[in-house]
Amino acid sequence: MDADSGGYFSSSTLFKTSLLTIAFSTFYLYETRRQTTTPKPFVVKKEPVTAIKLKPVIIKKKKTIYLTFDDGPNKGTRKVMDIMDAENVPATLFIIGEHVYGSKEQHAIYDSLMNDHLFEVANHSYSHAFENRYRRFYELPDSVVKDFERCADSLGLKSNIVRTPGRNIWRIQNLSCTDIVSTTAAADSLQKKGFKAIGWDLEWHFTNDQRLVQSDTLLLQQIDSLFAKNKTKTPNSLVLLAHDRTFLRPADSGALHRLIIELKRRDEYNFETVSRYPGIEEDGR
Ligand SMILES: [Zn+2]
């Protein structure tokens, strides 16, 4: 092999190499440009998914029932307390001063009432109208006031809420009424002395031998009806009057228990003590 053929071979190789370099560079430039100019595929930007939080549905209990029990402490009072405690329902007990001092057991019941947060104790006079001598009692307004003061002082009651024995009398803010006109002067005297008298919308009646007159089913219907017809003293508020002593027998305490369970089942009903009654404005527990 001579020098020319060797030079030719070298030149040819160099030429081919140059061509390849040019071709490669051209391809590289084309490819680089293609990659930089090709539009990126359109991507829908997804917002982070946030869980929609629904507010819990709260059923507002618009109607309030004020359970009140009069004339304790007596043998029926523990029955009432046991039922209210079992159902965790508050109640107001209008106490007769004389009954607290009637026996050791009655005094013990009174102490239990005062130490149970479910119960509110209020004043039902000391002597219960000179032991049910209603006409004579209400003829003497000053004596009426003194009888309530005696009850409050002897028991150290902080509450000035009272219920008048045997008479459905109301003397609170914006509500003043009396079922028997002859008691008006006594009711006014109580109010002047700062007492707040609360009556009732519905009574659970009883017979002479202390048995309930209405069944729990009938009483429930009466409660529903008074609310529905707006016949309570204050709209959406109902004061129920019952008496401790009528719940001594199992059949009658059973009726009270069934009534409370049924009332609790109704979503619309709420329970409160009378110091929460509209217009009372007192926290006298
Ligand atoms: Zn009474």
* 266 is a domain residue: yes
* 54 is a domain residue: no
Place of tokens 């160099």: 14
Count other C-beta atoms under 10 Å from residue 33's C-beta: 10
At 6-40, the pLDDT tens digits run 444 455 555 555 555 555 555 554 555 555 455 55
- The alpha carbon of 96 and the centre of ligand 1 are apart by a number of angstroms equal to 8
Q: What is the pTM for the complete model shown?
A: 0.78
Contact call for residues 99 and 71 (beta carbons, < 8 A) = yes
- The alpha carbon of 127 and the centre of ligand 1 are apart by a number of angstroms equal to 10
- The alpha carbon of 115 and the centre of ligand 1 are apart by a number of angstroms equal to 23
| DSSP designation for 276 | G
Question: Are residue 132 and residue 243 in the same domain, yes or no?
Answer: yes
Residue 156, SS3?
coil
- The alpha carbon of 72 and the centre of ligand 1 are apart by a number of angstroms equal to 9
Residues contacting residue 88 through CB under 8 Å, at least 6 positions apart? 118
Is the link from the previous residue into 73 a cis peptide, with omega within 30 of 0?
yes
Question: Are residue 107 and residue 206 in the same domain, yes or no?
Answer: yes
| DSSP designation for 245 | G
Residue 198, SS3?
coil
- The alpha carbon of 86 and the centre of ligand 1 are apart by a number of angstroms equal to 25
Question: Are residue 189 and residue 93 in the same domain, yes or no?
Answer: yes
Contact call for residues 138 and 186 (beta carbons, < 8 A) = yes
The CA distance from 82 to 125, in Å, is: 25
pLDDT at 50: 60
The CA distance from 239 to 261, in Å, is: 18
Domain count, the chain: 2
- The alpha carbon of 55 and the centre of ligand 1 are apart by a number of angstroms equal to 47
Question: Are residue 155 and residue 15 in the same domain, yes or no?
Answer: no
- The alpha carbon of 224 and the centre of ligand 1 are apart by a number of angstroms equal to 25
Contact call for residues 172 and 277 (beta carbons, < 8 A) = yes
- The alpha carbon of 69 and the centre of ligand 1 are apart by a number of angstroms equal to 9
- The alpha carbon of 24 and the centre of ligand 1 are apart by a number of angstroms equal to 114
* 153 is a domain residue: yes
* 122 is a domain residue: yes
pLDDT at 284: 45
- The alpha carbon of 128 and the centre of ligand 1 are apart by a number of angstroms equal to 6
CATH number, domain at 78?
3.20.20.370
pLDDT at 174: 87
- The alpha carbon of 232 and the centre of ligand 1 are apart by a number of angstroms equal to 21
Cα distances (angstroms) measured from residue 257 to each of 88, 201, 262: 12, 20, 9
Question: Are residue 102 and residue 176 in the same domain, yes or no?
Answer: yes
Name the residue range of residue 30's domain.
8-39
Question: Are residue 162 and residue 265 in the same domain, yes or no?
Answer: yes
CA dihedral 126, 127, 130, 136 (to 10 degrees): 30
CA dihedral 275, 70, 203, 214 (to 10 degrees): 130
* 229 is a domain residue: yes
Q: Is the dihedral of CA 95, 66, 234, 232 positive or negative?
A: negative
pLDDT above 70 coverage of the chain, percent: 78
- The alpha carbon of 219 and the centre of ligand 1 are apart by a number of angstroms equal to 20
Q: Which residues of the chain have pLDDT under 50?
A: 1-9, 29, 36, 284-285
Q: Which spans in 156-280 are helix H?
A: 184-192, 216-228, 250-265
Residue 70 one-letter amino acid: D
pLDDT at 141: 97
Cα radius of gyration (the chain): 43
- The alpha carbon of 132 and the centre of ligand 1 are apart by a number of angstroms equal to 8
Cα distances (angstroms) measured from residue 74 to each of 105, 161, 180, 198, 246: 9, 21, 28, 22, 10
Question: Are residue 109 and residue 240 in the same domain, yes or no?
Answer: yes
- The alpha carbon of 9 and the centre of ligand 1 are apart by a number of angstroms equal to 135
- The alpha carbon of 205 and the centre of ligand 1 are apart by a number of angstroms equal to 12
Residue 136 one-letter amino acid: R
CA dihedral 28, 33, 35, 41 (to 10 degrees): -160
The CA distance from 113 to 81, in Å, is: 8
- The alpha carbon of 164 and the centre of ligand 1 are apart by a number of angstroms equal to 7
* 46 is a domain residue: no
- The alpha carbon of 131 and the centre of ligand 1 are apart by a number of angstroms equal to 10
- The alpha carbon of 84 and the centre of ligand 1 are apart by a number of angstroms equal to 20
Question: Are residue 255 and residue 166 in the same domain, yes or no?
Answer: yes
- The alpha carbon of 112 and the centre of ligand 1 are apart by a number of angstroms equal to 20
* 116 is a domain residue: yes
* 1 is a domain residue: no
At 102-142, the pLDDT tens digits run 999 999 999 999 999 999 999 999 999 999 999 999 999 99
Contact call for residues 260 and 83 (beta carbons, < 8 A) = yes
Phi and psi at 278, nearest 5°, equal -55, 125
- The alpha carbon of 233 and the centre of ligand 1 are apart by a number of angstroms equal to 20
